Amino acid sequence: METLRRVQRSLLGGEEEQEEDFLGESNGSCSLSPLQSFIVFYRPIKFAVMFTFGNILAVGSTAFLVGPEQQIGMMLDPVRVYATAIYVGCVVLALISALWIHNKVLTLIAIISEICALIWYSLSYIPFARRMVSELLISCCDTDLS
């Protein structure tokens, strides 16, 4: 119990009470420093490993909820088999670039690819979401030069 109190004091900055606003947020006790918010660029290899293992745990948690057989069945459904393959490939690429190659630029590219693949994979579970996003991107990027 004393250990818990020491950890709480160190996290909250001592014994003083933290004031909360009407939304329940405390005054800066949970805010990130500029260095912490740019950890992706400061230490991309560490971020890539943690982010990738977090994604693996997220997929594993859904497998725990619906069962591994049904999870694999949903991932290999013809509607999302390509999104699954790209996502798994990006996860592997991020781990290889972070743990084996140790190249920061390649790791940043792998993280960005993994995020995009995760979004595309997640959109495959929402009916018509990928088509809507595709049409939105096409309309935003479509320029008529004539």
**3-class DSSP state of 78:** coil
pTM given for the model:
0.69
In this predicted structure, what is the pLDDT of residue 22?
Answer: 47
The percentage of residues in the chain with a pLDDT greater than 90, rounded to a whole number, is 47
Euclidean distance between CA atoms 31 and 25, whole angstroms: 10
DSSP state of 14: S
In this predicted structure, what is the pLDDT of residue 13?
Answer: 56
Residue 21 lies in a domain: no
- Residue 72 confidence (pLDDT) above 90: yes
Q: What is the tally of structural domains in the chain?
A: 1
Two structure tokens written together for 45: 């290899």
Residue 63 lies in a domain: yes
> Each residue of 25-61: pLDDT tens digit?
555 556 667 777 677 777 888 888 999 999 999 988 9
In this predicted structure, what is the pLDDT of residue 44?
Answer: 85
Residue 146 lies in a domain: no
CA 92 to chain centre: 15
Average pLDDT, stretch 113-122? 93
Residue 6 lies in a domain: no
